[in-house]
Chain A
Amino acid sequence: ELKVEQNPLFLSMQEGKNYTIYCNYSTTSDRLYWYRQDPGKSLESLFVLLSNGAVKQEGRLMASLDTKARLSTLHITAAVHDLSATYFCAVDSGGSNYKLTFGKGTLLTVNP
């Protein structure tokens, strides 16, 4: 059974600081997704990582994937208040049904 663990689950940052969210998973997979959820809203796709060593960046967010370590990171550079949200990683369990297993999410609060 695929297990996905995120840490930290709660992260309070000051504006301008850097930090990293970690996503570990338990079985082999080469498809990993990052989503953002604003309070009371739906989930929005941020990044799709499809191979070992993949790196994607948008704005102050950068995601990477190490399939050998079964680890993905979401790095936040010079945080701003607008980045406050819950971030989920999700791992494709493989096969043709494209099921995703989600981590519990990281609630990020960026304080002015």
Chain B
Amino acid sequence: NAGVTQTPKFRVLKTGQSMTLLCAQDMNHEYMYWYRQDPGMGLRLIHYSVGEGTTAKGEVPDGYNVSRLKKQNFLLGLESAAPSQTSVYFCASSYEGHGGTKNIQYFGAGTRLSVL
């Protein structure tokens, strides 16, 4: 059981280039999330999805787009990368659950992105 898988694990971009980060989960979770982690800032929510075909903005959505065409996949796109988008990106998924498992978010291993 792979859980949440992110690809790629590392990427270096030049300013203005575009790329897509892929998140795949095999737990049949309804909810999926994209975060960025920067030193001293904790995790900040970029976009999220509460089900196939739905997406919504989080705390820091500017410069990013997302799509969830299939329940198991959540894509994060950078159309024109900027140095300010240098960060570690984490994808997570969750389900409503009950009791002690209620909405535990399960995280992928992360993608380390550098924009030069």
Which residues of A are interface residues toward B (Cβ below 8 A)?
Answer: 9, 31, 33, 41-45, 48, 50, 88, 90, 92, 96-105
Contact = CB atoms under 8 A, between A and B. Distances in A.
18 contacts: A9-B40, A33-B103, A33-B105, A43-B90, A45-B105, A48-B100, A48-B103, A50-B99, A88-B42, A88-B43, A96-B50, A98-B31, A98-B96, A99-B58, A100-B45, A100-B105, A101-B59, A103-B42
A42 B96 CA distance: 21
Given A31-B102, A43-B43, A99-B48, 14 more contacts: A33-B105, A42-B108, A43-B107, A44-B107, A48-B102, A48-B103, A90-B105, A97-B48, A98-B94, A99-B33, A100-B103, A101-B59, A102-B35, A102-B42
B50 A48 contact: no
B109 A42 contact: yes
Contacts of A33: 103-105
B1 interface: no
Contacts of A44: 107
Contacts of B50: 96-98
B69 interface: no
Given A43-B90, A98-B31, A48 B110 contact: no
A90 B42 CA distance: 10
Interface of B: 31, 33, 35, 40-45, 48, 50, 56, 58-59, 90, 92, 94, 96, 99-110
Contacts of B103: 31, 33, 48, 92, 98, 100
Contact of A99 (B45, B99, B101, B109): B45
Contacts of A31: 102-103
Given A98-B31, A98-B94, A104-B41, A48 B104 contact: yes
Contacts of B48: 97, 99
Contacts of B59: 101
Leading 4 A-B pairs by shortest Cβ distance: A104-B42, A102-B43, A98-B103, A102-B42
B97 to A, nearest CB: 9
